[in-house]
Structure formats: structure tokens, C-alpha cells
Structure 1
Amino acid sequence: MWTYYPELLAKPVPRYTSYPTAAEFGDLDPDRYRQALRNAEGDISLYIHIPFCEKICFYCGCNTAHAGRKQRLESYLDALHAEIELVASLLPPTALVRRIAFGGGSPNAIEPDQFRLLVDKLFFSFATADPVLSIELDPRTMTSDWAEAIGHVGIQRASLGVQTFAPHCQQAIGRVQDEDCIVRTVDWLREAGVTSLNFDLMYGLPGQTMADLEDSLQRTRVLGADRVALFGYAHVPHIVPRQRVIDASELPDQEQRFAMAELGYAYFATHGYTPIGFDHFARPGGDPLARAAFDGTLRRNFQGFTDDTSDVLVGLGASAISSFPHLLAQNEKNSGRYRMLSSQDHLAANRGILRTADDRYRGAVIEQLLCQGRAQLGACLMREVRPSLQPFLDRGLVDIDRQWLDILPEGLPYARTIAALFDAHRAATMQQFSSAV
């Protein structure tokens, strides 16, 4: 189905959940963030970051810490409540929250009652319009009490960090969880009213074979996942020190990774799922993500592919990123400094980047290529990238028809590499990213 061209995958590229990417962020005056909040109108989305896990996985590049120190966790939640009050007070009355996403870390690292209080705080502080609620969960620390809390607050969408069902791969990445744990969590969530359930899976793991991957794909389908995100493991120990525990000699090489990505795509595409890009999948017949992919409204933000059409995403919590048409702003990453800022009634955003008109134009092209597989280019941009596109044209991976650039089916695994051709910032920061496949 796909042809492996190693020369086209030689350079690491971002996942492009924003443009410019976080690698380009610099110091930011919090007043710019304050003004962006005051100017936010219409539909907005919230992302709440809980940077704690009860168990830390070796592979994880998220900003997270061990949840064992109760006092630290409680003081973090106090700071988060304070930030919610401050940010909500700055938004105009016309800003209506239609999406609330909880991520981490693992939101279920806190107590169910603490989660209920957090949700109550959000609904009390912000103007809402029947928002869609979603949450990321660690099956290893899921409980019936947590499932009850999820049902109580009305979570509709949940994402499980499954990664792999292969025991030896789980051991290698520090995420041991037997299938009974996953099954029990799925049952609890369905009973709690979760209607859209995503499984996060990974390929390119240490010691992982094609048979291991196919087994995980099959188990995921049988367990009834509505959506699947199949990520390639990004081994960047120079950025994520905890990954040094992983034996790099056991990792599949790039050609094996390419074959794994192809296997995942072929499996889900032939077993009742709609492909979203080349590494996400959703069941058709009502799933909003599949519908957005079909009707051309699919978007991309810090949670990945989404059917969220809002141009404003407000991030709350340490390291959370907010996105506005003209600004990207990131909160203080260090949990201790974040707690200090919030407790003193200061906005926590201290890094980010102003998005120029050129950034917004290129960002729209990158998003269209990743979400719709095609983009309309202006004459100047077409002339700029045409030489770089030639290797993809020669191999039948893309097509150009006047102002339109189309990624052909054979070019899907190269989508991020093609999108990176439009990244005016990429030369200085590519070393910070991982393989495109």
C-alpha cells in the first residue's frame, strides 16, 4: 500500500498541534495574555492540566510528577482554583465555554471528590453553554468511585492510555497493566455514560514485533474503542531524561516503524474505522470526529485531531498552553513556581509567541494538509516550496493542480514531512523533534 522512502523521512518533524510549535516559544509578557483573554468572545474551549500520576512511565514526555506527596497535590489544586477565578474574571460575558478537557499526567491521580469540586468550580466561574466534557485516564489507577464521579459530572468522552497489550513491551516502558484492568475500566466508563471512548496505542516500542502490534489492534477493536490514536514512540532521551531507562538497542528501526504504521492503518481501515490522517481512527455512524473528517471541518489543536471549531483554547494549570488567533501562551512549567504565581493572584503564562500574519497563513496551510489532505496555496508560497515538493511529486506522493496541493493516498505517512516544508521556523528547531513515522 505504502512505499518506504527513507530519504524523505530522514529529518525529524513536529506533530504540529500548533503553529508555531512550542519549540519556538520565548519569554512572554503576561499582559499580552491578559489582553487576549479580555478580547476573547464567542465559543471558547478549556483545557485543565493535572500534572500528576500515581505511576510514572519511562516513555512519557508529559509534564508530570508523582502524586504521592498529598500536600503538594492539594496545594496545586488550590492554585488551580485560584487561576480559574482569575482567568474567568478577565473573560468578557460573551465568552461561552463549549468544551472542557481534562488531561495530564493523569486526572484520576487526584481523588474523585477533588475532581467533583474542580468541575463545580469551573461551572461556577465560567459562562457555559452545555459543554462537551472529556478526560484522559490511567486504567491502572481507575476505581469504581472514579467512574461514579465521571457519571456524576457528565463526562461524555474519555481517552485511555493503553499503549500496548504485550506484557514484555509494557515491562520495557514501565506501564504494566493486564487486560482485565482495561476491560474493567471500559465497563465502568460505559456504565457511567461515556459515549466516546478512545484508546491511545503506540508502535515502535522496545522489543515490539508486528505480531505484538497486531494483537493490540485486535484487542482494541474487540473491546469496542470508538476512537484510536496510534502514535509512534518518540525516543528523545536528550529532552526526556526518564527515557534513558529504555534500552535504545531494542527499538525497531525506521523501516520497521514504517511497516508498523502501515499495518495499523490497514487494520483499522478494513475493520470498520474511518482513518483520520494516517494514525488516528474513528468509528463512522455518528462519531463527531469521523463526521468532521467527512465534511471537511476537522481541526487540530493541542489535543490532536478534533471536531472543536473554536479558535480560542484557554489552558489552565502548570505548563498548559492557551491558543488565540494572534497569540500562543504557555503557563509556567514548574509546578512549584506555578503554585506561587497563582497563589499571589498573578497570571501564570510566561512563555509564548505572537502569531504574525505569515504564521497564521502557514499554520492554516499546515492544518489543512494534516486534516483534509489538501490546501490552496498562494502564488508566492507555491514558488517557495515547489523545489522542496519535487521529490514528493516525482514519487507520486502529492499532486499539484494550479493552486491546489493534494497529498495522495500513497503520501499519507509523509504528511507531517510535507507539512514541515511550510514551516518557516523549522530549520532552527528540528533537532528537538522525533521521526515523522
Structure 2
Amino acid sequence: MGPDLAKCYRQDRLPRYTSYPTAPHFSSSVREVHYRTWLKSLPVQQPASIYLHVPFCRSMCWHCGRHTSVTKRDEPIAIYAAGLRTEAYLVAETVGQPLPISHIHFGGGTPTIMTPETFADLVGTLRYSFSVLPDAEIAVEIDPCRLTEPMAEALGYCGVNRASVGVQSFDFAVLRAINRLQSFEQTAISVERLRRAGIGRINFDLLYGLPLQTVASCRDTVAKCLALNPDRFSVFGYAHIPSFKKHRRKIPGSTLPDSGEQYLQSEAITEALIDAGYVRIGLDHFALPNDNLALAKQKRRLRRNFQGYTDDSADVLIGIGASAIGRMPHGFVQNAVATRGYLPRVAEDRLATVKGYILTEEDRFRADIIERIMCDMAVDLSQISRLHGKDPRSAIVDRSQIDHLIADGAVIMDGDQLYVSDGAEFLVRSVASVFDAHLARSAASPGRAV
């Protein structure tokens, strides 16, 4: 396909577009008073989702970009879990009526760092405070190195029906280089425990571009993963930004593959998963053909949120916990990032919002375009423009970039219909960025486009 597209665009640093506008554009002008007002105005007949953030781990993986910290003691975790329960009560009380919940996602950190009893108490609070629907998806991120049999049983007892297992790689040299010693056997035992507890839907998370990683080790990792038959894969490229997290400085830059090698690793993983029968979902997810994510793609109902691709159709996301981001019809809200800022607020019966963003009609217009590009690899600019009362000719912000993408064969434009070309899916962030009116003003350093 024309020029070497990966070589042409791989240095572009672009957002992952899990929201629009992206988090660097949030402002401290949005505070608790905004969030309270927004919660009170929610249409309580429409289902919402909940994300809970658990910012603790037993050890730090040096590649990690999450908001988390290391603790060897259970007491800080129990205190924090009490804060989560308090915030859940506060949100429900502010809404005023039981809000139906269709999805719950526990992220981290390591959510299963909680004791089984603490986790069960937290889920009980959610069920008491909200109207969790009978068919709700309840998902938990899992560190297979630390999943005990009692915890797996507690997850099943609490109604968890999806587990996202962090694998990253099975290459011991790579794992040692990121301070994450995790064997295939540990992972297999965790998957067996989860399935025995009745949690049949399993996701695996993989990374490429890690220190000492090679194309061969990526292929070997995928082969081992396939033996455990997960329903989905999330495959992300590691972006080495030492200034973002201090522990990343422990990874010598000389051990990292260059951007060209990263691209080859990504393509090797993609090829292996497609050959194994998985359907490619957007930029970086893969699912079995009968999985809900694959069905949502087929029906063009795929969505994008802070966890990546989802079949969750809820327009409201309640963020609970330190650093958690919520999405309202009015805009975004984010809690205090550090637990030392979060816990005192909820202890005083205050919502922990410290920043956010109020959406404009222009933002909604561009958000719809970008979401369809990211999810469908295509967009009908006329259709979305009509919905927002906009002129489709105003949609493109970076005319020079779109012209380059078209000339290089990465994009096809047929009137107001845009398509990402077959084989150029890895450039979807570059395509989406053409419609991003905030990008030039961003002070963030997101990952490379490829």
C-alpha cells in the first residue's frame, strides 16, 4: 500500500481517544457543585455504568502508567474501601432515586488486593445504593500473581462475570526488566480458579514495545495465551515517558525496541490472533466471533470509554475512587488523584470532584465523529453533521493531514463518507486527530500513533 505508512506516521504522538476532549483539557473550574447539579438532573430511567478505582499494588511494575501505589499492609486498603462505600452512598443520595446500573468495572492498581470480605462489603454497598440490573456486567481487573482461591470464590459469590487478566508477556527476560515476575503456570491457575468460581468471560491484556521484547517473544506469548482460550484480548503499545512516572526511569532506554520494531511486534500479535479466529475490534482489541464485543462491532454499536472498546451503551459513567473519571451528559468530572486528597473529602460527606470539563455543542459534534472513526474505521460526516446542525465542511480541522493520509492510501474519501483503508487500521488515531479541535492546544505527551 503506497509508502511505508508506519514509517511515515509512527512518530506522531496522539491521544487514544477514550474520551473527547481528552483528560489533559480538564479544568479545575469544574468542581463539586457542578457534579452535584449534574447528578440531580440525571434521567433515572436510563441505565448508567460505574467505574471504581483501587490504587494499590503489592509491588510496582516499572512500565505501569496507572495511578497506583505500593502497600504491604491491609489497613490502608480497608480505609480506602470504606471511602469508596461512602462515595457510593453520597452519589446515590445526590441522585435521589435508585439509578439502574448496567455495567460495573473495578480497575486499578489491583482491585483484588482487597480481602474477600472487604470486596463483598463494597459490592453489597453498590447493590444497596443503586439498582444493579440482573444482567449487569460486573468486571474486575486481575493480577494473576496474587489471585487466591478465596478471592476467586468471593468474586463469583458477588456476581462478577468478567475478569480482565493482566498478562503483558510471558518472556521471563521482559518480565524481569519490568519488575513483574509472572509465570504461565500462575496465569493458568488463576484462569482455572476464575472459571471454577463461575466467571466464564475472560480477557487478557498484552503489551508490546516493552524492554528486551522481540517479535518472536510476542508470538510465543500469544501462543501460550491461546492455550487458555480467553474471550478477548486488549493489545497496547508501551509508551516510554519517564517524566510521567518516576519508576519508569528504572527502564533503560537502550533496552527498548525502536518504533519500527514496535510496529512489527504489533503486527505479529495481530496476525497471530486473527489466524486463531479472533475478530479485530477497532485499534487494539480482539474478540471471539460470538463475544458481545464482536457482535457490537458487527451491528455498529461499538462504543469507546476509558477502558477502551465496549458494548456498554450507557451515556452516564459514575467514577468512584481516587483519580476516577465520570462522564455525564453535561461533561466530565474527575476525583482527586491522590488518596490523601480523596479520603478527607468523602469523610466530610463531600463529593471528591476537583476538575472536569463542560461539553459544548462543538465538542459533542466532534466526539461523535471521532468515536465512529475509532469504532467503525469509517464515518458518515453528513449524517453526524445533520444530527448536530453542522456543516460537514467544518468537520475537518487539519486539512493538510487528511490530504496526506488520502495521498498515502490510508484513508478513502467518497464525498462526505470517510473510510480507513484495509491494512491501515493501526493509523486510526492519526485519522481521528484530523477532527480534534483541541489537539494543538494539548500540553500532554501521549503515545505514538503507531
TM-score, length-scaled by structure 1 = 0.97
CA deviations 1:195-235 (Å, max 9, x no partner) are: 21010000001011111000011111111111001110111
Check the 8 A contact 1:227/1:282 in 2, yes or no: yes
Matched, 1:276 2:277: no
Alignment of structure 1 residues 297-316 onto 2, 5 Å = 297-316=301-320
Check the 8 A contact 2:63/2:248 in 1, yes or no: yes
Matched, 1:161 2:166: yes
Structure 1 residues 317 and 61, CA gap change in structure 2 (3 angstroms):
same
Matched, 1:179 2:184: yes
Q: For 1:233 and 1:211, how far apart are their aligned partners in 2?
A: 17
Q: For 2:162 and 2:6, how far apart are their aligned partners in 1?
A: 37
> Which of 331, 335, 338 does residue 339 from structure 2 map onto?
335
SS at match of 1:139: coil
What letter matches 1:301 in structure 2? N
> Which of 94, 100, 115 does residue 96 from structure 1 map onto?
100
Q: Percent identity?
A: 37
Structure 1 residues 73 and 382, CA gap change in structure 2 (3 angstroms):
closer
Q: Which residue of 2 aligns with 1:432?
A: 445
SS at match of 2:304: strand
SS at match of 2:112: helix
Q: For 1:353 and 1:193, how far apart are their aligned partners in 2?
A: 40
Deviation of 1:127 (Å): 1.9
Q: Which residue of 1 aligns with 2:21?
A: 20
Check the 8 A contact 1:4/1:255 in 2, yes or no: no
Check the 8 A contact 1:261/1:279 in 2, yes or no: no
Q: Which residue of 1 aligns with 2:269?
A: 264
Check the 8 A contact 2:98/2:129 in 1, yes or no: no
Check the 8 A contact 1:12/1:430 in 2, yes or no: no
What letter matches 1:122 in structure 2? L
Q: Which residue of 2 aligns with 1:152?
A: 157
Q: Which residue of 2 aligns with 1:190?
A: 195
Structure 1 residues 69 and 40, CA gap change in structure 2 (3 angstroms):
same
Q: Which residue of 2 aligns with 1:241?
A: 246
Segment of structure 1 superposing worse, 126-135 or 174-183:
126-135
SS at match of 1:63: coil
Unaligned 5+ segments in structure 1 are none
Structure 1 residues 213 and 5, CA gap change in structure 2 (3 angstroms):
closer
Structure 1 residues 251 and 383, CA gap change in structure 2 (3 angstroms):
closer
Q: Which residue of 2 aligns with 1:75?
A: 79
Q: For 1:418 and 1:325, how far apart are their aligned partners in 2?
A: 26
SS at match of 2:351: coil
Matched, 1:419 2:432: yes
Aligned residues: 436
SS at match of 2:50: strand
Q: For 2:132 and 2:261, how far apart are their aligned partners in 1?
A: 47
SS at match of 2:423: helix
Q: Which residue of 1 aligns with 2:256?
A: 251
Unaligned 5+ segments in structure 2 are 382-390
CA deviations 1:217-276 (Å, max 9, x no partner) are: 111111111100111011111111110000111111111111111111111111110100
